[in-house]
Amino acid sequence: MEISENSFISLIRKFGRKNKRIVRGIGDDGAVVNLDRGQYVFVQDAMVEHVHFEFSFMDPYFVGRKALYSNISDILAMGAQPAFYLVTTGISPDMSSKDMYRLYQGMDRAAREFGVTLLGGDTVATKTDFFIDISVVGKLVGKRYYGRDKAKAGDHIAVTGKLGQAAMGLKTLQTEDSRRGMKSCIERFLSPKPPYAVWKELVKNDITDVMMDVSDGLLMDLSRMMAESKKEARIDLERVPMPRSLRGCGLEHLALSGGEDYQLLFTFPEKKMPAISRLSEKKAGVTVIGRVFNGKGVRLFRNGKEVELPDTTGFDHFGGRS
């Protein structure tokens, strides 16, 4: 990059918005924040060039925005309101200060949407590829965190939004395939805004305390939830919400194992079904897809008949299929 660290810090300092809780913001060894007593959630999540995205199809603005979204998604999934974030950027030799400015603009956009304030972080050089790593602090909204470890036999399993959109979007961007009709999938890959409105409804109606975000694919993430809860999930394939372009085109696996959906996966008890039905009627974007049983792992059914799990059960952030 063509500017020095000092100049760059001045440049990003403007993104540190006013917040009455911040005693000392960007510009010191650390940020000082006044916190009330309570339960706080801490998350940290990174994106790496050539692993999670390419600049050839993803503007730095979207990289910054998505990196913050993915962290906010984790905070919401724990049942907390996101509040503050720190960001480390690993700047590759060929990035310009304009690129970095776009990156911070993208983060700032996501930050304003969710009322999150930048506290600081670090800027380092890399010799090769770019990376961004963000940590976010949130505060629990209710008394109990939303965990992967509390699913009970008899609970229903539901997800927000549609699955497989981001994976289909990425596939389209990576290949020479026609992009016709793929706009919403590409948008979902580039800018996976967490389902804030639905989340607020779920919180308001006290639907659940069992939740996680779908980041590595439904099957992988659900199997993690079942492992933590020591239960078995049975999923009805035909109910899994996905774009029409995936259903029946041999691309259902993208909805099951595609990754980067950043939708919310949760279970809820029978007595909350009326509230969920009301949400579904309002087209809030909640779909019931299965149920929890005593047992172990995840089982798939199509029209009541059990089918085999696909080989590829999830996106592995180590770069390969697990």
One character per residue 167-206, x = contact with its own copies (rule: CB under 8 A): ----------------------------------------
Q: CA 66, CA 106: separation in Å to the nearest integer?
A: 8
Name the one range near its own copies by CB under 8 A: 58-66, 114-122, 155-163, 201-209.
Answer: 114-122
Name the one range near its own copies by CB under 8 A: 19-27, 160-168, 173-181, 275-283.
Answer: 19-27
16 is a contact residue toward its own copies (CB under 8 A): no
Enter the DSSP assignment of 58.
S
Name the one range near its own copies by CB under 8 A: 122-130, 177-185, 278-286, 304-312.
Answer: 122-130
In terms of CB distance, is 115 or 274 closer to its own copies?
115
Residues of span 220-249 touching its own copies by CB under 8 A: 224, 228
Q: Shortest approach of its own copies to residue 26 CB, angstroms? A: 11
**89 DSSP β-pair partners:** 123, 132
In terms of CB distance, is 146 or 185 closer to its own copies?
146
Q: Shortest approach of its own copies to residue 177 CB, angstroms? A: 24
The residue from 12, 58, 67, 78 that contacts its own copies (CB under 8 A) is: 78
Name the one range near its own copies by CB under 8 A: 60-68, 183-191, 210-218, 274-282.
Answer: 210-218
Name the residue among 9, 100, 14, 119 with its Cα closest to residue 60: 100
3-state secondary structure of 63: helix
131-140 and 117-125 beta bridge pairing: unpaired
Q: CA 112, CA 134: separation in Å to the nearest integer?
A: 16
Contact call for residues 206 and 142 (beta carbons, < 8 A): yes
Q: Shortest approach of its own copies to residue 270 CB, angstroms? A: 24
Q: Shortest approach of its own copies to residue 225 CB, angstroms? A: 10
In terms of CB distance, is 122 or 238 closer to its own copies?
122
One character per residue 30-69, x = contact with its own copies (rule: CB under 8 A): xxxxxxxxxxxxxxxxxxxxxxx-----------------
19 is a contact residue toward its own copies (CB under 8 A): no
Q: CA 42, CA 84: separation in Å to the nearest integer?
A: 10
In terms of CB distance, is 246 or 263 closer to its own copies?
263
Q: What is the largest CA-CA distance in the chain?
A: 63
Name the residue among 81, 103, 87, 209 with its Cα closest to residue 149: 209
The residue from 96, 128, 174, 294 that contacts its own copies (CB under 8 A) is: 128
Q: Shortest approach of its own copies to residue 134 CB, angstroms? A: 9
Report residue 228 CA to chain centroid gap.
Answer: 19
Q: CA 152, CA 142: separation in Å to the nearest integer?
A: 20
Residues of span 292-321 touching its own copies by CB under 8 A: 316-319
Report residue 170 CA to chain centroid gap.
Answer: 15
Enter the DSSP assignment of 244.
T
88 is a contact residue toward its own copies (CB under 8 A): yes
Q: CA 266, CA 76: separation in Å to the nearest integer?
A: 12
Dihedral angle at the C-alpha atoms of 305, 309, 314, 320, nearest 10 degrees?
Answer: -160
Segment holding 263, helix H or strand E: strand 263-268
Residues of span 137-166 touching its own copies by CB under 8 A: 137-138, 140, 145, 147-149
Q: CA 264, CA 211: separation in Å to the nearest integer?
A: 7
The residue from 99, 108, 213, 261 that contacts its own copies (CB under 8 A) is: 213
